[in-house]
A and B are shown apart, each in its own frame.
Chain A
Amino acid sequence: MDAQIKKGLLDVCVLAALMQDDSYGYRIIRDVSPCVEISESTLYPILKRLEAAGCLSTRCVVHSGRLRKYYHLTPLGRARIREFYREWDEMVQIHDFIVRKGEA
């Protein structure tokens, strides 16, 4: 898949992983990776970018004697996921166009 498209999709996947519940780094990777390959070092800049954009917020929680950072989906993050649905409709139209022209 095109790297740019994949990058955009990963952002939305990470946001989607927070839809039901707040989550932390390792769990986000476990949740997302069956669908798209994602490594720790790929996730870091995504989380940073999404936080800077206001799509998620963070809090630290003590877990087994250490701090674990939890990520929380903000209303802006939810809006970003809805935006993805709209973009996807456009993608489907473009796809149909390409397929139609290919068949003609």
Chain B
Amino acid sequence: MDRDQFFRKLRRRIRSLPPDEVERVVAYYGEMVADKVESGWTEREAVAGLGGVDALAQKILEENPNRRPRNPGRAVAVVAVSLCGILLIVLAVGAIWTWAAVGTAKDGAPLFAGWGRASAHETKTYTAGAEGIGSVRIRAEYKRVQVEAADSDKIEVEYETNGDQTYDFSSGGGVFNLKNEDRGARGWLGTKDDAPRITVRLPEGYAGGLSVDNLGYTEIAGLRSLGEVECNSDNAAIRIVDCSAQSVRIETHNAAIDLDGLAAGRVSADTTNAAIRIRSLDSPDVTLDTTNGLIAGSVRGAEEAYTVRSQTTNAVSNLSDRDGGDRKLTIRTTNALIHVEFEE
């Protein structure tokens, strides 16, 4: 059996485990196979060395007390979800009612009444269990979002809010969701430094995915075992500091991207009118793309280790295209400088 077949089967056999545990198991055994192949085993030998898929899956399942229950649990879950649904409808109707009433009372007030108001935000916290969470999704509007590592086994959210904000938190199916909407008329001003903050603290060893959509400055720091990371933001900068991840995809417009001490299996960063800065970027597959901004900084490893493609139309690049390296470095800008150093 080849590696892909083996892991496809293994995933199927252990799918009753929480999604983050499945990912950890597959990453662990995948690394074992890769390391064995590197030290001279053939792929088939390395896979066979793990024992049969069935025996291995059996052992893994026996070791895991927190298996998701099968059918009876599902029935309970359906009832619970239905009850939550009814509760939400009741709450929603209530909220619309209240909102309509307040809306009427507000009539006649200037549209931008909020502009001059001091940001009277209060700080609240929300805590959820991280057990079984394989994916964290954050959707926010005009916030300063900080995602960081904490010495805790919980997901902790600290957020600034006022009457214009809504926050929804939910966990289910291995996913933790945070959704914030900003109903304030002055929303876009919130991208300034005084934008309300959301700080999400994840357990240090959190190994799941992370996706952030924020119309505001976003920073991810200190998480060393992330899975797939996706980060989108319009008109606001994105910064990733001292993180490791399976893959990282970043997209923004009109704002800078700053990758400082990032290690990842694959990195792609895309912005329009701003710079991309990198420091000690450590990845075998890098694509950096901007239109009017410079791309500068350093990548880990000798130049010989890279296959390089760099392109700038109206400016200069210090890189020359080369083949033969195991690592891929693709850098494109139209109107600005490219300057990338290799750190050996």
Chain A residues within CB distance 8 Å of chain B: 24-27, 39-41, 44-45, 47-48, 51, 57-62, 64-69
Q: Which of A24, A27, A58, A65 contacts B224 (CB 8 A)?
A: A58
Cβ–Cβ < 8 Å partners of A39 in chain B: 51
In the complex, the answer to whether A65 meets B265 with C-beta atoms within 8 Å is yes
Smallest Cβ-Cβ distance to B300: which chain A residue:
A62
In the complex, the answer to whether A58 meets B225 with C-beta atoms within 8 Å is yes
**Minimum C-beta distance from B137 to chain A (A):** 22
In the complex, the answer to whether B244 meets A67 with C-beta atoms within 8 Å is yes
Smallest Cβ-Cβ distance to B36: which chain A residue:
A26
Q: Which of B31, B36, B38 contacts A67 (CB 8 A)?
A: B31
In the complex, the answer to whether B204 meets A67 with C-beta atoms within 8 Å is no
In the complex, the answer to whether B60 meets A26 with C-beta atoms within 8 Å is no
Cβ–Cβ < 8 Å partners of A40 in chain B: 28-29, 32, 49-50
In the complex, the answer to whether B224 meets A25 with C-beta atoms within 8 Å is no
Q: Which of B70-78, B175-183, B277-285, B316-324 contacts A (4 or more CB under 8 A)?
A: B277-285
What separation, in Å, do the CA atoms of A25 and B27 have in the docked complex?
11
Cβ–Cβ < 8 Å partners of A68 in chain B: 31, 35
In the complex, the answer to whether A59 meets B244 with C-beta atoms within 8 Å is yes
Known contacts: A40-B50, A67-B246. The answer to whether A62 contacts B284 by CB under 8 A is yes
Q: 7 tightest A-B contacts by CB?
A: A26-B35, A65-B284, A60-B244, A59-B224, A62-B263, A62-B282, A45-B63
Q: Which of B24, B32, B326 contacts A26 (CB 8 A)?
A: B32
B59 CB within 8 Å of chain A: yes
B39 CB within 8 Å of chain A: yes
Q: Which of A26, A58, A61 contacts B263 (CB 8 A)?
A: A61
Cβ–Cβ < 8 Å partners of B265 in chain A: 62, 65-67
Which residues 237-258 of B have a CB within 8 angstroms of A? 244-246
In the complex, the answer to whether A57 meets B204 with C-beta atoms within 8 Å is yes
Cβ–Cβ < 8 Å partners of B204 in chain A: 57
Known contacts: A41-B56, A41-B59. The answer to whether A65 contacts B327 by CB under 8 A is yes
B129 CB within 8 Å of chain A: no
**Size range of the interface on B?**
35 or more
Dominant secondary structure at the A interface: mixed
What separation, in Å, do the CA atoms of A24 and B246 have in the docked complex?
17
**Minimum C-beta distance from B118 to chain A (A):** 43
Cβ–Cβ < 8 Å partners of A69 in chain B: 27-28, 31, 225
Known contacts: A41-B56, A69-B225. The answer to whether A62 contacts B283 by CB under 8 A is yes
In the complex, the answer to whether B28 meets A25 with C-beta atoms within 8 Å is yes
Map CB proximity to A onto B305-342 as digits: 1 under 8 Å, 0 otherwise: 00000000000000000000011000000000000000
In the complex, 24 of the A-B residue pairs with CB atoms within 8 angstroms, ordered by the A residue number, are A25-B28, A25-B32, A26-B31, A26-B32, A39-B51, A40-B28, A40-B29, A40-B49, A41-B51, A44-B25, A44-B29, A44-B63, A57-B205, A58-B225, A59-B244, A60-B244, A65-B265, A66-B31, A66-B34, A66-B265, A67-B264, A67-B265, A68-B35, A69-B27
Cβ–Cβ < 8 Å partners of A62 in chain B: 244, 263-265, 282-284, 300
In the complex, the answer to whether A24 meets B225 with C-beta atoms within 8 Å is no
Known contacts: A58-B225, A62-B282, A67-B244. The answer to whether A25 contacts B31 by CB under 8 A is yes
In the complex, the answer to whether A59 meets B35 with C-beta atoms within 8 Å is no
**Minimum C-beta distance from A104 to chain B (A):** 44
What separation, in Å, do the CA atoms of A45 and B49 have in the docked complex?
18
Cβ–Cβ < 8 Å partners of A60 in chain B: 224-225, 244-245, 263
Which residues 39-97 of B have a CB within 8 angstroms of A? 39, 49-51, 56, 59-60, 63
Which among A47, A51, A66 has the highest number of chain B CB atoms within 10 Å? A66
Q: Which of A26, A27, A45, A51 contacts B205 (CB 8 A)?
A: A51
What separation, in Å, do the CA atoms of A48 and B29 have in the docked complex?
13
What separation, in Å, do the CA atoms of A25 and B28 have in the docked complex?
8
**Minimum C-beta distance from B293 to chain A (A):** 26
Smallest Cβ-Cβ distance to A30: which chain B residue:
B39
User: What 14 additional pairs, Cβ within 8 angstroms, besides A24-B35, A44-B28, A44-B60?
Assistant: A24-B31, A25-B32, A25-B35, A26-B36, A40-B28, A40-B32, A41-B59, A47-B28, A60-B224, A62-B282, A62-B300, A64-B34, A69-B27, A69-B225
